[in-house]
Amino acid sequence: MAIAWISVAAYLVAAGLLVADLRRADRAPAAWLSAATVAALLHAVVHLLAWRASGVADMHFFSALSLVGLGMAALTTVFAAGGRMAAIGVVAYPIAALVLGAYAAYGRHLAEPMDWRLQLHAWCALLAYATLAVAALLAVMLWLQERALRRHRIGTWLGALPPLVELETLLFRTVGAGFVLLTATLLTGVLFVQDLFAQHLVHKTVLSVLSWLLFGGLLLGRWRRGWRGRIAVRWTLAAMALLVLAFFGSKAVLELVLHRFA
pLDDT digits (tens, 9 = 90+) for 70-91: 999 999 998 877 666 777 888 8
Query: What value does the mean pLDDT take over residues 204-222?
Result: 91
Instruction: Judge whether 79 and 88 are in contact, CB under 8 Å.
Output: yes
Percent of the chain past pLDDT 70, that is, above it, reads: 76
Q: How confident is the model at residue 144 (pLDDT cuts 50, 70, 90)?
A: confident
- Taking the model in full, what pTM does it have? 0.85
Residue 255 has pLDDT above 60, yes or no: no
> In sequence order, what are the residues at sequence separation of 6 or more whose Cβ sits closer than 8 angstroms to the Cβ of residue 41?
none
Burial 95-122 (b: 16+ CB within 10 A, else e): bbbbbbbbbbeebbeebeeeeeebbbbb
Quickly count: other Cβ atoms within 10 Å of residue 259's Cβ.
7
Cα distances (Å, whole numbers) of residue 97 to 153, 205, 248: 30, 29, 18
For the stretch 6-34, pLDDT in tens is 999 999 999 988 888 777 655 556 788 89
pLDDT in tens, 112-127: 656 666 777 788 888 9
Q: Three-state DSSP class for 261? A: coil
Q: Contact, 39 vs 11, CB < 8 A? A: yes
- Choice among 138-142, 152-156, 172-176 with the minimum mean pLDDT: 152-156
**Is residue 201 scored above 70 in pLDDT?**
no
Task: Give Cβ neighbours of residue 252 (< 8 Å, ≥ 6 apart).
Answer: 61
What is the residue-averaged pLDDT of the chain?
81
